[in-house]
Structure 1
């Protein structure tokens, strides 16, 4: 895992400093399936899942010089995808009477904001880091790796009720630390779904 993390860091460095398209292609090839699977799980719609996944990679290239990964690159990309899904839900709620919301390319329609995303990502990273170690690990497995309660319980050799209690504890910590930001509280529903 450390080797993968250092290679991801090197690929990001090459993308940012040398505009290295091959580094981008390597990241794309390595993470496409994982992100698409996550997008399908969230959206339940193959077309939307493909658009959300493509949007992650469009923005990865577009904002390659400003990306600051605090945890794993996989978690960063998963957070970016969930942010895109959140933006989609917000947009869909505002324009529920509009026809096909995918008429325009997704990134033009939804106006991804790297500043908003970076702020969100840093808040999530900071709160995640503040969780007790086991609670943090369970939250990350549930939110970023999309593991079920049963899978997490098996992994730690603990009961499913213990896993649920730890997830409830993490949810409460997030709620407490985000009480003043209603938008981010709504986003918790996506991360804890």
Structure 2
């Protein structure tokens, strides 16, 4: 069952695949893997990324096996399916690259915080920031509020919290890291620009 072309049993394999037969899936995978890899490599020019995409293609085929509706050729369907997944992933990578480049560009221009704030709704940013702060552990939250919102020095904040200056700095660094992650997850590209102002 490992060579589709030799046994000419693709329709039967697809029926077995639909009911979750792993041997049928393996046979289809072994038969098409090389061709799909070479096909996607033309898009990506990157062997590692291509292998990841091939994995995604066959994983998705397994996930939707019960809904597969092959009108004509499974081969044509699979290559079209692979192309669509590749385009989606490459567009996503391009978007991330654009965001990263925009952040780096703004950092290099040394745009001040007010200019960044003008690019977004202040209220939206403040609401997200407050949610991020609320989600922090108690000591990290207190360190952030004292130093970043109330303008206390490390020494003043450490004394108020009854901890050492180094411990205060550790709490603050972890707080900033958590807030950045929160804004990255829940904000849009404009809010991502604000990450450069959190140090």
With structure 1 as the length reference, what TM-score do the two structures score? 0.46
- Kindly name which structure, 1 or 2, has the bigger radius of gyration based on alpha carbons: 2
With structure 2 as the length reference, what TM-score do the two structures score? 0.44
